[in-house]
Amino acid sequence: MAPRTRTALKIDELPDLLTVREVAEVLRVSPLTIKRWGKRGKLPAIRINSRGDRRYKKEAVLYLLGIQPKDEL
């Protein structure tokens, strides 16, 4: 198995809805931490499809980082 290489994530290029893995990479925590934060209400998840996959709003992730969207500056 080849080692995973980290690619630099650019906030401007992120989609409006992020997966658990994408949020975990941006915040540099584990995917399990993201799921726990969702259960505690720290980072609310949107459930999609019949499996209940989680998606997170980019604005909510930026808020956790202390970054305001450009249109509010």
Sign of CA dihedral 25, 49, 64, 40: negative
Is the separation of the CB atoms in 69 and 60 below 8 Å? Answer: no
Residue 54 covered by a domain: yes
Q: Are 20 and 54 in contact (CB under 8 A)?
A: yes
In this structure, is residue 5 part of a structural domain? no
User: Per the structure, how many domains does the chain have?
Assistant: 1
The band of 7, judged by pLDDT with boundaries at 50, 70 and 90, is low
Domain-embedded: residue 8: no
Cα separation, 73 vs 56, whole angstroms: 22
Report if residue 2 sits inside a domain.
Answer: no
Question: Is 72 domain-assigned?
Answer: no
Provide the residue range defining the domain that includes 33.
15-67
Q: How far is 56 from 47, CA to CA, in rounded Å? A: 9
Q: Is residue 35 part of a domain?
A: yes
At 43, which CATH number? 1.10.1660.10
Asked whether residue 33 is domain-assigned, the answer is yes
Maximum average pLDDT range among 8-12, 27-31, 62-66? 27-31
Q: What is the pLDDT of residues 23-60, one digit of tens each?
A: 999 999 999 999 999 999 999 999 999 999 999 999 99
Q: CA 62, CA 50: separation in Å to the nearest integer?
A: 28
